[in-house]
Amino acid sequence: RKTTPRIWLPHRAALAVIEMLGYRYRTNRQASEGIRLLGGQCAALVAETRRPGQQVVAVAGDLLRTHVATGQSPAKDFHPRALLEWIDPLPGVYPAVAADQAAIQPAAAMLMRQYDDEVEELRPVAKRAGTEGEAARKRIEEILWEGALQEWALLESARGTYWGLNLLELRGWVPEDDAWVFSRIAEGRYWRPTRADGLSAALLDEEHAAEVLLDREIRYDRLLREKARLAGRAMYCTVLMVDQPKSGCHPCHVRLETDQEVLRIRRGTALSSLDGSVEIRVEQLEHEPGKATVITAQVTKGVRRSSVPVEGDHIDFVDSTPFGGHFMKRGIYRTMYEHGHPLVFGGELGSARRRDTDVGKLSSALQTLREQ
């Protein structure tokens, strides 16, 4: 499928520079319209990096440290060149020695010491008029241009090394409409919510994105799935029986057996197979100490002959499927905007008034709760 461009940064320091430029120039009235647009784009990029699982901005250093363990000190792992020496070592060179040598050279948008000192010496000369000042300015531009090219080469090397790891792709991971996100960044449209309604919407979106990312990781990462199994969020079971009166149609029930010690499920718990083709809802649990647990569940998705479980199958189920509450959220927001409550929109509260309470109704309500 067609994808929007991805913006790559070499390390976290580059992201800090972009954040500083964005917040300094996006609303600067003394800057030109083009500079303010670039500032808005930088601010939008930084805001996008905080969304869990976002696919628009990629920091190469963070990605490599997430998937590679070197054994060297964490400080050296944060040095991109030292980290690359372990991932893609030169023939006949011990990676630890090469990493120590690489760590001497700055790799966070900084010049080598001798070039940085030369630039500082040339700055007062460059402010002068005439041939001497022009030569100083030209030399400063050459040094800065060479430093920028080295930074670009480091970014290309880190990105190529990351793709060379051949990591497993989280299939189906589309956290948001990438085209919409990239268009917002390209136009420099960035805003930070300040009211209760905007803050709640942003919080809900981030929580949902984090849940979707965790669900994808559990499904496609074997080690994370094993940790989820120890916590009771994943279950490996055997199909004992399939009760489906009419082939390929509802209703369909299955009986599952698992000897897993930790189970965080109860009646009503929704479980899904790793590929998402089968979804079940727990109806009954039968457990005896020292014996396997038998689960009776209704198949809510996957009743067709091509996907329905078969007796004797061994299936992994997870309960990490995120709740899609966007339809409910739209209804809540619609009601909230219609009433315009001052606690939400910051208006003036109405005057306090006395509310008459029927004590008899409260007593009957309490009695009903006790009986239930």
DSSP string, 108-153: SS---HHHHHHHHHHHHHHTS-SHHHHHHHHHHHHHHHHHHHHHHH
Q: Which of 355 and 239 is assigned the larger pLDDT?
A: 239
pLDDT tens track for 35-86: 999 998 898 888 888 888 888 889 999 999 988 889 899 888 988 889 999 9
Cis peptide before 251 (omega within 30 of 0): yes
Which pLDDT tens digit goes with each residue over 181-240?
777 777 776 667 777 767 877 788 788 888 888 888 888 888 889 999 999 889 999 999
Q: Identify the H or E element spanning 18.
A: helix 12-25
- What average pLDDT does range 263-272 have in this prediction? 91
Report the C-alpha gap between 341 and 273 in whole angstroms: 43
> pLDDT over 90 for what percent of the chain?
40
β-sheet bridge partners, residue 236? 316
How many C-beta neighbours within 10 Å does residue 9 have?
A: 21
Average pLDDT, the chain: 85
Q: What is the pTM of this model?
A: 0.68
Cα Rg of the chain (Å, integer): 30
Report the pLDDT averaged over residues 341-348: 73
For residue 360, the model assigns a pLDDT of: 66
**Cα 52 from Cα 205, distance rounded (Å):** 10
Q: Are strands 293-301 and 253-258 parallel, antiparallel or unpaired?
A: antiparallel
